[in-house]
């Protein structure tokens, strides 16, 4: 049992917050760049995600901030509305809509996504993170951090990026990433965990500090110097007034523009869906298997987006990259998410020049490990062993995320999962195989608790294969609800059976309830708790 007091787990939460901060910093900037928004707007969203959303949320390990999944929508919205302050009004609308969704208890939507799709989302994101960080690890930084789509903003794609990477390998970046990976792997070894200082000084911090020191050592050395796109790039300002000047207020006159409401509702729906999926995935990764109250999460996200829109930030969602980094770094309560927001605020104000010394290659090493842990081969093998019904939706989700984007991959996986469920519904508990039939042997067909119209085809095919001069028992003793179409098939079978000398025995049909949308059935059938099948048959004949 975890003590939820924010101060009781600081020994674990503080180091985890530092790791999440290091991961979030370039992602906030990269997503802002990919969205066509001011760079500082990404930092604002990350700060609000930590300082406002985390305390309001009921998620113990979820981390919120700007989301890559919204980058395309944001980019198009800013272009359509013509100005960033106008777009901020749409962010406020999105926040209000999310609050309403929370009040209406729409958080339950997340529970309707199959676990195979959720696990596919985790593995797909892990693979895409791993693939996207390989160029950064070798010093090719043309595509910004935070661009997780297959087709990139620079016109390349995830795989073609490797070709361009090979033409621009930086020896210093490669060395920094390699050493960073070595440090992170060693820090995970059992002998290192026995050393007391490793619980305070985390491997990612050592990797980043090593990267900064090597960057400084390589300064002035031809062919080895790292600068510009190879480093973190936070806007540097003079004093408090310069820092505050980077915050932007919305254009309140834009609330008279109908377009912001369409865009706001669109962002709210997409952000809420991405948040609920992340909540489900984070809860699965949580070693203590705590359950996040989803309606409260929507309220927290809505409040965060309202504030973000008021001060110039990008739209916010709970994000799996930072949340998984939090879990893998040992975070225990939402104090780690709150502290990461505080670190973003302090660093952006006080030490932007120092943060701008961090090589992206050092951060790539951290994200390579995060990506690998999300898509461990053992987890993929485990899904394979569960059979095709679980593995196919899982695999389609993974492939969809890697080859398109997060939301499209999830949509593809969900469609395949639904098709798989519908296919299962075509089956009945009893299957009669004419090839194995022994003449004179009785045949028994048992129906399940709910027999829907989706079962029509399989039931009809099974009844059609019953041979003449046989005896068949149709058992509905366990059935609570049977669709009228199925009742009609059984009635027709009884009539047809008489012409083939098939003896038909009905068991338990008097206990089933048949439903029909026909108006005159409502009073006689729908409003009564149990109706005999014979009465339903009479109603059909009457109509």
- Judge if 347 and 255 occupy the same domain: yes
- H helix runs in 351-387, sequence order: 352-355, 360-374, 377-385
Rounded CA-CA distance 364/491 in Å is 67
- The residue among 413, 443, 474 that closes a domain is 413
Give per-residue pLDDT as tens, 339-370: 999 999 999 998 899 989 999 999 999 999 98
Burial of 543 (0-12, 13-18, 19+ CB in 10 A): exposed
Are 336 and 392 contained in the same domain?
A: yes
Same domain, 450 and 382: no
> Are residues 232 and 319 located together in one domain of the fold?
yes
pLDDT of 254 strictly over 90: yes
> Is 421 among the domain residues?
no
pLDDT category at 518 given cuts 50, 70, 90 is: very low
Res. 165 pLDDT band, cuts 50 70 90: very high
What is the pTM (predicted TM-score) of this model?
0.78
State the angle between helix axes of 115-137 and 388-403 in degrees (0 to 180), rounded to the nearest 10. 40
| DSSP label at residue 143 | S
Whether 70 is in a domain gets the answer yes
Q: Is residue 408 domain-shared with residue 439, that is, in the same domain?
A: no
Question: Is residue 366 domain-shared with residue 295, that is, in the same domain?
Answer: yes
Paired residues of 504 in beta bridges = 472
Q: 316-318 and 64-66: which strand pairing?
A: antiparallel
Residue 460: the pLDDT is: 84
Same domain flag for 332 and 442: no
Helices (H) and strands (E) in the chain, counts: 24, 8
The answer as to whether 171 is a domain residue is yes
Tell whether 98 and 142 lie within a shared domain: yes
Is residue 419 domain-resident?
no
Same domain as 452, residue 407: no
Same-domain status, 28 and 125? yes
Residue 388 lies in a domain: yes
- Whether residue 127 is contained in a domain is answered as yes
Neighbours of 236 (CB within 10 A): 13
pLDDT value of position 519: 39
User: How far, in Å, CA of 176 to CA of 214, rounded?
Assistant: 7
> Same structural domain for residues 383 and 463?
no
pLDDT in tens, 439-454: 777 888 888 787 877 7
211 and 277 assigned to the same domain: yes
Look at residue 113 and give its three-state secondary structure. coil
Which of the four pLDDT bands, split at 50, 70 and 90, describes residue 213?
very high
SS (H, E, C) 42-63: HHHHHHHHHHHHHHHCCCCCCC
Q: Residue 177: which domain range?
A: 13-220+227-413
Domain count, the chain: 2
Contact of 465 with 434, CB cutoff 8 Å: yes
The CATH number of whichever domain residue 511 belongs to comes to 3.30.750.24
């Amino acid at each position: 049992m975890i003590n939820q007091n924010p101060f009781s787990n600081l020994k674990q939460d503080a180091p985890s917050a530092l790791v999440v901060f290091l991961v979030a910093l370039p992602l906030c900037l990269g997503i802002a760049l990919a969205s066509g928004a001011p760079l500082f707007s990404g930092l604002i969203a990350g700060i609000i995600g930590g300082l406002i959303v985390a305390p309001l949320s009921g998620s113990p390990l979820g981390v919120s901030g700007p989301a890559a999944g919204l980058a395309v929508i944001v980019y198009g919205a800013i272009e359509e509305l013509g100005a960033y302050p106008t777009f901020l009004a749409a962010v406020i609308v999105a926040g209000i809509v999310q609050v309403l969704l929370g009040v209406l208890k729409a958080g339950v939507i997340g529970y309707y996504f199959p676990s195979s799709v959720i696990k596919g989302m985790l593995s797909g994101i892990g693979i895409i993170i791993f693939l996207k960080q390989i160029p950064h690890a070798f010093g090719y930084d043309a595509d910004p951090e935070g661009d997780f789509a297959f087709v990139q903003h620079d016109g390349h794609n995830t795989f073609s990026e490797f070709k361009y990477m090979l033409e621009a390998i930086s020896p210093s970046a490669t060395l920094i990433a390699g050493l960073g990976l070595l440090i992170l792997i060693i820090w995970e070894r059992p002998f290192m965990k026995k050393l007391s200082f490793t619980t305070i000084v985390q491997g990612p911090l050592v990797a980043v500090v090593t990267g900064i020191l090597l960057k400084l050592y390589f300064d002035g050395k031809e062919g080895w110097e790292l600068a510009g796109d190879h480093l973190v790039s936070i806007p540097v300002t003079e004093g408090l007034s310069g820092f505050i000047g980077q915050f932007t207020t919305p254009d309140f006159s834009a609330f008279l523009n109908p377009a912001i409401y369409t865009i706001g509702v669109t962002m709210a729906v997409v952000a809420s869906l991405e948040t609920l999926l992340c909540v489900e995935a984070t809860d699965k990764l949580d070693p203590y298997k705590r359950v996040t109250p989803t309606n409260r999460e929507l309220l927290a996200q809505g409040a965060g987006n309202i504030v973000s829109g008021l001060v110039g930030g990008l739209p916010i969602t709970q994000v799996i990259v930072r949340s998984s980094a939090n879990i893998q770094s040992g975070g225990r309560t939402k104090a780690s998410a709150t502290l990461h927001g505080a670190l973003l605020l302090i660093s952006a104000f006080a030490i932007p020049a120092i943060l701008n010394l961090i090589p992206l290659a050092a951060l790539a090493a951290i994200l390579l490990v995060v990506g690998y842990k999300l898509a461990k081969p053992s987890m993929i093998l485990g899904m394979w062993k569960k059979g095709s019904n679980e593995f196919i939706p899982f695999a389609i989700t993974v492939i969809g995320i890697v080859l398109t984007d997060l939301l499209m991959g999830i949509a593809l996986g969900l469609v395949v999962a639904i098709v798989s469920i519908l296919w299962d519904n075509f089956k009945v508990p009893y299957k009669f195989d004419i090839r194995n039939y022994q003449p004179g042997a009785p045949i028994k067909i048992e129906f399940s608790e709910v027999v829907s119209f989706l079962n029509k085809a399989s039931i009809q095919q099974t009844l059609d294969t019953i041979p003449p001069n046989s005896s068949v028992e149709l058992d509905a003793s366990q059935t609570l609800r049977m669709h009228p179409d199925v009742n009609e098939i059984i009635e027709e079978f009884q009539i047809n059976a008489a012409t083939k000398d098939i003896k038909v025995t009905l068991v338990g049909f008097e206990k089933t309830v048949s439903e029909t949308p026909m108006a005159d059935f409502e009073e006689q059938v729908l409003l009564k708790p149990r109706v005999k099948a014979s009465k339903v048959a009479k109603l059909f004949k009457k109509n």
